[in-house]
Amino acid sequence: METWPIYRVMGPDANDEDRVPDPVKVKIYEDMVLLRTFDEKTITLQRQGRVGTFPPSIGQEASEIASAHALSKEDWLAPSYRDHGALYVHGVPFENVILFAMGKASSISGQVRALPTSIPIATHLPHAVGLAWAARRQGEAVVAMAYFGDGGTSEGDFHEALNFAGVLKAPVIFFCQNNGWAISVPVRWQTASPTLAQKALAYGVHGQRVDGNDALAVYQAVKAARERALAGEGPTLIEALTYRLGPHTTADDPSRYRPLEEWEVWRQRDPLVRLGRYLAERGLLSEAEQAAIQERARAWINRAVEAAEATPPVDPTAMFRYLYAEPPPRLLAQMQALQEEIG
């Protein structure tokens, strides 16, 4: 009978040793602080009407940030709508994420090996497999990493992607951030499987569960999956167990479907607090140094917001010009009507 233990590096339940270099630990912490600060700021901006609907990552910083740090900048990233932290680590400026939320241009960085953010659920997973397969055929020693939530495992694209990847032994990592809820639908209503990781078995893919709030475990798990992929051992499905402390998006009210007692349990496992305490205990970052990091993050994010808001607004007729090489008459008529309306 296959068992699915939860891989941990920090705390009394650790089942592996910490092999993360100290400078990497500190950098992961700094970027987790930056992501938390960014999310808190952007929620405020949305409430003020300065950005559109926004999906915060509060509570999932260890999964996002540590996983991206385990990759090479030459690897490919296929993100979902909540993975702006991973995109930042991979090279996309936070200003671009704010621009995206504002509906402005320049929200995608062409110099970074990352697909645009996928709003539809799991549709980007087959694309990640294609990127990994293409890179291998071209002789590149890189992998593709696909980010998605537990809700994505209920979509057909998830199963097609794993089947495709398993057959081809494509160098791809499927990174599932299982935060317990697909908006208001709990995992127990999505699947009868005791774990999501075990779904890998049906496709001949390596599966692993990891404590998604243990940044060091996430880093080591992804790093090992990358090494297996580059060694020709095929793809890995990682189920990172974490929790969304905030709303699904700023249009959501989790208090309508999620028990407060459950939220309180997971609040005690805050990955940012957990890593900060771990670093302080080992003399890598004092409380004063952690406070200074938070202060620098706030100042940095404020500057990023100023830069994004200074960007000129997008021409609303641009959406007609980038759909077809030669727009059909009906779209040309709609574009002309819009131009006349806005003057």
Instruction: Give the rounded percent of residues in the chain with a pLDDT score beyond 70.
Output: 98
The answer to whether 68 touches 27, Cβ cutoff 8 Å, is: no
Alpha helices in the chain (DSSP H): 22-47, 61, 67-69, 84-90, 94-102, 125-137, 156-168, 187-190, 215-230, 260-267, 271-281, 287-309, 318-321, 329-342
Residue 67 within a domain: yes
Tokens of 212: 């998604």
Catalytic entry in 206, 209, 248, 258: 248
- Average pLDDT (31-56) is 95
Give the model's pLDDT for residue 10. 97
Residue 271 within a domain: yes
Burial of 326 (0-12, 13-18, 19+ CB in 10 A): exposed
Phi and psi at residue 259, to the nearest 5°:
-65, 135
Residue 84 within a domain: yes
- Average pLDDT (107-118) is 83
- Average pLDDT (204-216) is 98
Residue 8 has pLDDT above 80, yes or no: yes
The answer to whether 174 touches 161, Cβ cutoff 8 Å, is: yes
Q: Which of 22-31, 109-118, 164-173, 192-201 has the lowest mean pLDDT?
A: 109-118
Residue 1 has pLDDT above 50, yes or no: no
Same domain for 308 and 322? no
pTM: 0.94
Residue 2 has pLDDT above 60, yes or no: no
Catalytic entry in 257, 267, 321, 324: 257
Q: Which of 78-82, 160-164, 243-247, 315-319 has the lowest mean pLDDT?
A: 315-319
Same domain for 331 and 294? no
Cα–Cα distance for residue pair 202/199, rounded to 1 Å: 6
Residue 3 has pLDDT above 60, yes or no: yes
Residue 185 within a domain: yes
Burial of 173 (0-12, 13-18, 19+ CB in 10 A): buried
Same domain for 339 and 296? no
Same domain for 283 and 295? yes
DSSP-assigned letter for residue 255: G
Cα–Cα distance for residue pair 117/83, rounded to 1 Å: 8
Cα–Cα distance for residue pair 195/175, rounded to 1 Å: 14
Confidence of residue 232 (pLDDT cuts 50, 70, 90): very high
- Average pLDDT (173-181) is 97
List the domain range (segments joined by +) for residue 22.
Answer: 6-312
Same domain for 205 and 137? yes
Same domain for 92 and 222? yes
The residues, ordered by sequence, that sit 6+ positions from 273 with a Cβ below 8 Å of its Cβ are none
Catalytic entry in 82, 244, 258, 274: 244
Residue 90 within a domain: yes
Same domain for 20 and 154? yes
Residue 1 within a domain: no
- Average pLDDT (202-214) is 97
Same domain for 176 and 55? yes
The answer to whether 172 touches 163, Cβ cutoff 8 Å, is: no
| Catalytic residue check, 206 | no
Same domain for 30 and 90? yes
Same domain for 202 and 324? no
How many structural domains are present in the chain? Answer: 2
| Catalytic residue check, 257 | yes
Same domain for 263 and 335? no
Residue 168 has pLDDT above 50, yes or no: yes
Same domain for 18 and 44? yes
Residue 97 within a domain: yes
The answer to whether 31 touches 53, Cβ cutoff 8 Å, is: no
The CATH number linked to 10 is 3.40.50.970
| Catalytic residue check, 248 | yes
* Average pLDDT for the chain: 94
Residue 157 within a domain: yes
